Amino acid sequence: MLAKRWAAFFAGLLFAALLPASVARGQEQPWPDCLIVAASPELQIEAKKVYNLAGHFAVNRRLVTAEELGSKDLGSYRYVIVVQNTPDRALESAVKSLAGNQADVLWVGASESDRRINAISVSYGGQSWPQRYTVVYPKSNEVPQRVFATVSDGLQAYPLALREGRQWFYLSMQLDDVMGKVFADWLHAFFGAAHSHETRSAFIRIEDVHPLTDPDKLRQIADYLYSRDIPFMVAVIPVFDDRANGTKVSFEDKPDFTQALRYMVDHGASLIMHGYEHRYRSGETGEGFEFWDSETDKPIENEEPYTAAKLEKGIARMVANQLYPVAFEPPHYAMSQKGYQIARRYFSTLVASMQLSDETNMVAQQSPYRLITDYNGLAVVPETIGYVVNAPGDIAGMLEEADKLTIVRDSVVGAFFHPYVPISKLKELVTGLEPMGLAFLDLKSETNAVKTDFVAIATDEDGLEAEVTDRVKLDTLSRWEKRSVWMNYASFAITWGIAIVVMAFVAAFIWFIWRLRRNRRYRLFGEENGE
């Protein structure tokens, strides 16, 4: 049965459950090709953002630089998207020659000149929103245009998104915030995708759940969300490791916690593997990074073996305790491009924002909608409105972000909640989201896959199925020496006993030296008096 699911999964290529029905039906026909061109090397990040957003649609994508246009046989394309921050007539000529009369071409950024205006608001779909200081490149209207979106500098309105025949223009490099959402939605028009505004979804992810998390709070959360008929996600850290204090705890050490996780699954939870220990080098689980070196802001050393080992051990620890992950979330959303490619060997689905650069983890993308695949081949379920920080106004701010997402058809309102925050704040969030008519995602009822050489996990509308393919390797990777409470007490007593003995020796040594010097001083004084 599981083998059939895997065959169907790979044959489908696309994780059809991630798509609106109108797109899923499009799989019956070959997908059109889309070429994305970065006009210069420094625009690779912006081009990668466009590549990822295009991953929401049923198109085959390829990303190249402008230099490659004349040096490679790129074939024919139905869609071409060019990202440029200054007009380039040679590039324009090369693109038009490549596109011919068969392709629609979208120019992102500057198109006619380097002239710029500073936009403070954007209008689209009959609504207007304030926009933080943003550069827009005005364009003349000598050719008949269809304008989809405009911006204003406070004095005059200018086109932002427009079409001239088969030439399309988005006249800004801003691909985030409100204008980024406008761009993301407008791509539906460019690709001719008839997705519906009625298909907006949401999820709540319970974050940083590790073996020292209070199991009673986990049950309370599960009971509440179950009572509201809301499926949810739980980001699980299999091992709590505080190296500074010598503490290392997993499922077997906290059976009530493990039972609470199973209880959550029975009440609607889908489990996400949130790293193995959620730490790198020193520090406490949940605070540190794991797949990124935050001290140097660079990829971790020995990345290939380290990452593979952590992912395999995390999967093994969970499966050995009848806890089955269906997706992956890197700690702090931080991971190199190679790290993502390693993760893709094991997981089909990423529940996170996407790091875009290996130069710093501060360059990331928060897609407003789900991606069939991102730049590294992972299906993406994005977090989009942040987390509950347990401060005045925090829920209002999250709901404001959720409201902005109404700009984007089939957007995802993704939030996360830490179990140490009072459950009243979770209730406040749910109460605010419910009037928006969102469909809460049940990830374990969609098409996802987790695969290693010792276990395979697959989910679809029929539920979850797991098959152990190498029991010996699973047992080896998941082996854990459970320590009883008395062993912990004994270890504690021995440690402190040794410390007390050492301190006693140090004190005795100091006392001995003091006495020795004191006696020597008396002896010297006595000799002087005798003279």
DSSP letters for 264-300: HHHTTEEEEE--SSS-BSBSBTTTS-SSSBTTTTBPP
In the prediction, which pLDDT does 247 show? 78
Cα–Cα dist 433/419, whole Å: 19
In the prediction, which pLDDT does 68 show? 86
Helices and strands, counts by H and E, the chain: 14, 24
Place of tokens 């759940």: 209
Task: List the beta bridge partners of residue 379.
Answer: 349
In the prediction, which pLDDT does 73 show? 64
Cα–Cα dist 247/232, whole Å: 30
Q: Look at residue 108 and give its three-state secondary structure.
A: strand
Cα–Cα dist 331/235, whole Å: 10
Q: Which pLDDT tens digits describe the chain residue by residue (531 residues)?
A: 555 555 554 444 344 333 443 344 344 678 999 999 999 999 999 999 999 999 999 999 999 999 888 766 667 899 999 999 998 888 988 888 877 778 999 999 988 877 899 999 999 999 999 988 889 999 887 777 899 999 999 999 999 999 999 999 999 999 999 999 999 999 999 999 988 777 899 999 999 999 999 999 999 999 999 999 999 999 999 999 877 677 789 999 999 999 999 999 999 999 999 999 988 876 677 778 999 988 999 999 999 999 999 999 999 999 999 999 999 999 999 999 999 999 999 999 999 999 999 999 999 999 999 999 999 999 999 999 999 998 988 999 999 999 999 999 999 999 999 999 999 999 999 999 999 999 999 999 999 999 999 999 999 999 999 999 999 999 999 999 755 444 444 555 566 667 677 777 777 777 767 677 766 655 545 554 444
Residue 160 DSSP symbol: E
What DSSP string describes 378-446?
A: -EEE---S-B--SSTTHHHHHHHHHHHGGGSTTBEEEEEE-TTS-HHHHHHHHHHHGGG-PEEP-GGGS
In the prediction, which pLDDT does 253 show? 94
Residue 392 phi, psi (nearest 5): -55, 130
Residue type, 438: L
Residue 369 sits at the vertex; the CA angle it makes with 274 and 403, to the nearest 5 degrees, is 105
Burial string for 54-64 (b: 16+ CB within 10 Å, else e) reads bbbbbbebebe
**CA dist 58 to 13, 14, 32, 162, Å?**
11, 9, 8, 22
**CA dist 317 to 74, 175, 260, Å?**
46, 39, 16
Q: Which two tokens stand for residue 327?
A: 């997706």
In the prediction, which pLDDT does 97 show? 82
In the prediction, which pLDDT does 7 show? 52
Q: Which two tokens stand for residue 349?
A: 């689905």
Residue 57 sits at the vertex; the CA angle it makes with 52 and 61, to the nearest 5 degrees, is 55
Residue type, 77: Y
CA dihedral over 370, 467, 463, 269, signed as positive or negative = negative
Place of tokens 């059976």: 255
Q: Look at residue 150 and give its three-state secondary structure.
A: strand
Number of Cβ within 10 Å of residue 78's Cβ equals 17
Radius of gyration for the alpha carbons in the chain, expressed in angstroms and rounded: 29
In the prediction, which pLDDT does 290 show? 92
CA dihedral over 204, 8, 319, 310, signed as positive or negative = negative
In the prediction, which pLDDT does 166 show? 92
Cα–Cα dist 497/492, whole Å: 8
Residue 343 Cα to chain centre, angstroms: 12
Contacts of 89 (CB under 8 A, 6+ apart): none
In the prediction, which pLDDT does 94 show? 86
Closest CA to 66 of 102, 101, 41, 99: 41
Angle between helices 423-433 and 394-404 in degrees, nearest 10: 30
Cα–Cα dist 264/314, whole Å: 19
Residue type, 62: R
CA dihedral over 428, 368, 202, 357, signed as positive or negative = negative
Task: List the beta bridge partners of residue 159.
Answer: 150
On whether the CB atoms of residues 371 and 55 are closer than 8 A, the answer is: yes
Q: Which helix (H) or strand (E) holds 233?
A: strand 232-236
Residue 304 sits at the vertex; the CA angle it makes with 302 and 309, to the nearest 5 degrees, is 100
Task: List the beta bridge partners of residue 282.
Answer: 280
What DSSP string describes 362-393?
A: T-EE--SB-BS--TTS-EEE---S-B--SSTT
Cα–Cα dist 442/372, whole Å: 17
Cα–Cα dist 272/278, whole Å: 13
In the prediction, which pLDDT does 16 show? 39
Closest CA to 238 of 276, 281, 264, 291: 276
Cα–Cα dist 328/318, whole Å: 13
Q: Look at residue 514 and give its three-state secondary structure.
A: helix
